[in-house]
Every structure is written in C-alpha cells, then in structure tokens.
Amino acid sequence: VSDTLAEALDAEYAATYAYGLIGSHLSSAQQPQARTDLDAHRQLRDELRAKLSASGVTPAPPAPAYQPTTPVTNARSAKALAVQVELALAGSWSDVTTQTDDAQRIWAIKNAQACTRRAMSWGASSQAFPGP
C-alpha cells in the first residue's frame, strides 16, 4: 500500500531538487512562478513523509543529487524540465489513486490535477495519458 506513496515521495524529492536547478536558469520575471511551484512540491513532500510515517513506514531520505536526463543550460531547457517533472508527477500521483483509502485517493487525484496545471503553465502540450 505504501509503495506508491514512497515512489511519489521520490518523485517529489526529484521535483524539489529540479526546481532549484530550473529557477537558476529562468529570468527574474519567471522566478516567482518557479518559487511558487517549488513551495507546492515541498509541501507535498512533507505531506507524503507524514503519511508514510503515520502508516508505520520510515520515509526514505532524498538522494544527495538528482541528474536531469537532458542538460539544463538556459531558460528554454529549464522550462522543458519543469514540464517533464510535472508530467512525471501527474503519473506518480495517478499511481497513488490505486490506494484503497478514499481520502487518500481524493488527495491523489487533486495533486495529479495540480501537477497537470503546472505542466501546462510551463508549456506542456496535451496528451492522452499524461506522463514524462
């Protein structure tokens, strides 16, 4: 039951790390959006850690560093990474909907949709089944 939560936590760790990298390549006009999104992922990371702890599972710590699969060298590649991160998370949160707990399922759908909105705000194109 906690596997999907642990995987979502890993994806949120990666997102939190990625937004630090993304923000460093954006213009000052785009920084507030990146900061807002980073804060959202920090909150989700903390909520996931709390839920795992509450279910008796010790949350894994984040990796020391996370490597983007494509280099981030400018604002364009930074925004592309933000899209990829958010779409991957829409998938991770959709995986969490497989949980049997009703409240957790509703929470997961809401978070999958929030990731989708953020992906679109960074320039994602529509997909039949959002994912990286």
Partner 1 sequence: VIRAATVAVIAIPAVPALAGCGSDKPSPPNPDDQLRSQVALEEQALINRYSSAIAAFPNVANTLTAIRDQHVEHLKAMGAPPINQGETAIEGSKSSANELASLAAAERKASKARALSCEAAGDQELRRTLSLISCSELMHAIELAAKS
Q: For binding to partner 1 (CB under 8 A), which residues are involved?
A: 7-8, 10-11, 13-15, 17-18, 60, 62-63, 65-69, 81, 84-85, 87-88, 90-95, 97-98, 102, 105-106, 108-109, 112-113, 115-117, 119-120, 124-132
Q: State in angstroms the smallest separation of the CB of 129 from partner 1.
A: 4
As given in the structure block, the two tokens for residue 26 are 């954006």
Residue 82 and residue 34: Cα distance in Å, rounded? 9
Q: State in angstroms the smallest separation of the CB of 32 from partner 1.
A: 20
Nearer to partner 1, 28 or 119 (CB): 119
Cα Rg, the chain, nearest whole Å = 14
As given in the structure block, the two tokens for residue 72 are 């981030």
Question: With contact defined as beta carbons under 8 Å apart, do 83 and 123 qualify?
Answer: yes
